[in-house]
Amino acid sequence: MAYILLAEDDQSLSDGLTRTLQHSGHTIDSAMNGVDAEFAASYNAYDLLILDIGLPQRDGLTVLANLRRDGKSLPILILTARDTPEDRIHGLDVGANDYLCKPFNVGELEARIRALLRKEKWANQTEIRCGSLTHNVRANRFLVGDQPLELSPREYLVLELLLQRRGRVVFKNDLIEHLSSLDRDLSSNALDIVIHRLRKKLEASGCVIQTVKGLGFIIE
Amino acid sequence: MKKSIRHQLLLWLLIPLLSLALFSTAVSYFLGLALARSIYDKQLSNSADSVIARIKAKDNKLTVDLPPAALAILRHNNRDEFYFQVVAPDGRIISGDKLLPPPPAVLVQSGETSEPSFRTILVKGNRELRVVTLSVPTPDLFVDHVIVQAGETRNARTELAGQISISIFLAQLALIICGAVATWIGVGRGLRPLKKIEQVVESRSPGDLSLFQTDEPVEVTSLINALNRLLKQLDDDLQLQKRFTSNAAHQLRTPLAVVTTYCDLARKMEKDPEVQGVLAELESGISRMSKLVNRLLVLARSEPGVAASRNYANVDVSAIAASVTAAHVPQAIRNKIEFEFLSAAEPAMVYGDQAGLEELISNLVENSILYLHPGGKIIVKISVVNGAPVLSVEDDGPGIPEDERGKVYERFYRIAGTEQPGTGLGLAIVKEIAIAHRATCEITNGSTGKGTCITIQFPSTLQ
């Protein structure tokens, strides 16, 4: 699957994570201190770096900053016990792609690793799926099964944004803003009508748009 | 009642001053009496002289020719009684009032001309009389000398002394009143810097530990310096606690992560369904413990002291509540729980800590989700009443019995009979963060009479 560098100074956690990730099919190199981690990341083409902040010899944030300064663009996931918002913001500002706090759920860690690896390939991503609904990004069209879905321009834009942020609430205001290229100041009621029509057209696809009253809509 | 510097100062000024005034009034009364004596004694002596001038010898007999008109002149004022007596050397009263006591024997016999001698005596009717006694040679008469006594009551004298002392007392009283008023105003002005400090302290947010400026009078500067030293020490202690919290976090979290990882690995490697069940239980226990550790650390950070070091800014609670609620929607959908969000027409501005407020709202929403059954509904509502933002999270779940409502803020308090795997810290965190924002927390029934409604009332930003 992927070639991952794990920089974690706790021997036991490092071993456990290595074995778990190997079990998922990844190839793991591990570094026990900051200097080794930076050296390894500089000379090997890893797909991903999992970086602890509290590393001996050279702390994780320094390693992160040095790698970014040297033009390394590999995705970096910070794994740390520091969870204050300031720590997160600082870590992301310095150049991390994601931030996960200990103690973490292993399933969540693996999901984030998958997401980071996927992001790398986003440029090539052409399809988003939900039930039997498919969004072909290149061709600018939606399919239910094999059948093309006829959508008005408003419906198209709304469905596009909802699918892009699948699993998250999309605020009404964001949708209205997204539609501003078509309509300036679209009313909230007009948006509700668009959603209503979309729901009817999606009935067969198994893809459900749920309303969150007062906030917006979500496709799960 | 607490002691007031103003009252104390006034009291300590007035008591000695008034005592002094009374003392000096008494002294001035006696001085006034002495003054009156020297004036009126002279007049009395003159009156006695006038009586002498009226002594005549007629038929070998001495008489005093004193008609009432002349007598009226001899009494200097109409408030006092006047008495006179002319006594022969043998002690016989020649003329005058019998009321006066006989003159001293020395004067009667010696017959020498002498300086007038004065005495104060008590006569019938308990009246005090001032009496002058003169021995006068009478060469042109058949006796060589006579003794003349003149006396008068002391009304005019005491009146004069009284007037003197009262006018002195009134002048002093006026002075003391002016002094008291000046002191009252002066102390008020002098204490103004303290009032100013009070306002500055009062208007500070609970988290603000910055030092005070010292452009105040010298006396207040020392107080401000002491305050600043205290603030500095408090700040140092907080930093220490914060470091401890962060270290403890690291020390607890890494081992927890290790256990989680191995538990997950074991579940992946083990195919036996019985062992899988054991591992699943183990995992759920670890996950609860992880949550507990996280909440404990959040709580440690939310305590007013530690929250003090956070960055406060003007934030829109409505926007924060919207994003926090949105983040919980997927979980609610999985639990078949419906969300409704009612926002205020205007922004709900609060001077506070964004991360803390996120934590607060998140805890309220998570609590509702945890205790709600499928099909339940959560209403998150933001309103602004008279410039004061109000946040409420309401659900139609089992509700909190009225007698439990005071206790649910306690750490690790769990309502008896609840099965949900809560940490017992959620509402404690809510309370701590609310206090740090000077907000109040209230638990009521939901609007339909059942369920729970927790209302956070923030202070008004309009001031």
One-letter identity of residue A61: L
Q: Are B419 and B398 in contact (CB under 8 A)?
A: no
Q: What is the mean pLDDT of residues B410-427?
A: 75
Please give the Cα distance from B250 to B21 (Å, whole number): 76
Q: Are B162 and B29 in contact (CB under 8 A)?
A: yes
pLDDT at position A122, please? 56
The conformational region for residue B338 under phi > 0 = left, psi -120 to 50 = alpha, else beta, is beta
pLDDT at position B65, please? 79
Query: Cβ contacts (< 8 Å) between A18 and chain B: which residues?
Result: none
This model of the complex carries an ipTM of: 0.70
Residue A194's Cβ-count burial label (10 Å; 0-12, 13-18, 19+) is buried
pLDDT in tens, B243-299: 777 677 668 888 888 999 999 889 888 888 888 888 888 888 888 888 888 887 777
Query: Using CB atoms and an 8 Å cut-off, which of residues 36-75 of chain A contact chain B?
Result: 54
Please give the Cα distance from B368 to B452 (Å, whole number): 8
| Closest residue to B329, CB basis, from A12, A101, A212 | A212
Q: Are B354 and B315 in contact (CB under 8 A)?
A: yes
Query: Cβ contacts (< 8 Å) between A103 and chain B: which residues?
Result: 253, 256-257, 259-260, 286, 290, 293
Count interface pairs A-B at CB distance under 8 A: 98
Q: What is the mean pLDDT of residues B342-368?
A: 88
Measure B396 CA to nearest chain A CA, in Å. 16
One-letter identity of residue B293: V
Element (H, E) at B389: strand B388-395
Is the model's pLDDT at B101 over the cut of 60? yes
Is the model's pLDDT at B385 over the cut of 80? yes
Measure B285 CA to nearest chain A CA, in Å. 12
pLDDT at position B165, please? 92
pLDDT at position B353, please? 84
Please give the Cα distance from B26 to B48 (Å, whole number): 32
According to DSSP, the residues that pair with B147 across neighbouring strands are B87, B135
pLDDT at position B167, please? 94
pLDDT in tens, B318-346: 999 999 999 899 888 888 999 899 988 88
Mean pLDDT of chain B: 83
Measure B3 CA to nearest chain A CA, in Å. 47
Query: Cβ contacts (< 8 Å) between B252 and chain A: which residues?
Result: 81
A18–chain B Cβ distance below 8 A for any pair? no
- Residue B63, both tokens: 């008489």
Give how far the C-alpha of residue B360 lies from the chain's centroid of Cα atoms, to the nearest Å: 38
Q: Tell me which residues of chain A have a pLDDT lower than 70.
A: 119-126
Question: Residue B235 — very low, low, confident or very high, per pLDDT cuts 50/70/90?
Answer: confident
pLDDT in tens, A77-113: 998 887 777 778 888 888 888 888 888 888 888 888 8
pLDDT at position B250, please? 67
Taking each helix axis from N to C end, the angle separating B317-334 and B354-371, rounded to the nearest 10 degrees, works out to 30
pLDDT at position B344, please? 85
Alpha carbon separation from B334 to A206, B372, B395, B398, B441 (Å, rounded): 16, 12, 17, 20, 29
Measure B249 CA to nearest chain A CA, in Å. 6
pTM to 2 decimal places: 0.58
pLDDT at position B109, please? 63
Measure A16 CA to nearest chain B CA, in Å. 6
Interface test with B, best of A102, A104, A110 (most B CBs within 10 A): A102
Please give the Cα distance from B388 to B77 (Å, whole number): 83
Query: Cβ contacts (< 8 Å) between B340 and chain A: which residues?
Result: 213-214
Please give the Cα distance from B296 to B302 (Å, whole number): 10
A216–chain B Cβ distance below 8 A for any pair? yes
Q: Are B131 and B100 in contact (CB under 8 A)?
A: yes
Q: Are B419 and B381 in contact (CB under 8 A)?
A: no
Cβ–Cβ of B330/A19 closer than 8 Å?
A: no
Question: Residue B456 — very low, low, confident or very high, per pLDDT cuts 50/70/90?
Answer: very high
User: Would you call A108 helix, strand, or coil by DSSP?
Assistant: helix
User: Would you call B97 helix, strand, or coil by DSSP?
Assistant: coil
Instruction: Find the residue in A nearest to B337 (Cα).
Output: A212
Is the model's pLDDT at B24 over the cut of 90? yes
Is the model's pLDDT at B106 over the cut of 70? no
One-letter identity of residue B150: A
Cβ–Cβ of A103/B290 closer than 8 Å?
A: yes
Please give the Cα distance from B207 to B234 (Å, whole number): 11
Is the model's pLDDT at B306 over the cut of 70? no
Strands (E), chain A: 3-7, 27-31, 48-52, 76-80, 98-101, 127-130, 133-136, 141-144, 147-148, 170-171, 209-212, 216-219
Taking each helix axis from N to C end, the angle separating B354-371 and B426-436, rounded to the nearest 10 degrees, works out to 150
pLDDT at position A28, please? 92
pLDDT at position B394, please? 92
Is the model's pLDDT at B231 over the cut of 90? no
Sign of CA dihedral A99, B312, B304, B355: negative
Element (H, E) at B62: strand B61-64
Place of tokens 């649910």: B408
Residue of B458, B456, B425, B433 whose CA lies nearest to B303: B433
Q: Are B354 and B362 in contact (CB under 8 A)?
A: no
Alpha carbon separation from B228 to B260, B307, B309 (Å, rounded): 47, 19, 16
Cβ–Cβ of A104/B268 closer than 8 Å?
A: no
Query: Cβ contacts (< 8 Å) between B339 and chain A: which residues?
Result: 212-215
pLDDT in tens, B72-82: 777 767 788 88
Please give the Cα distance from B367 to B453 (Å, whole number): 11
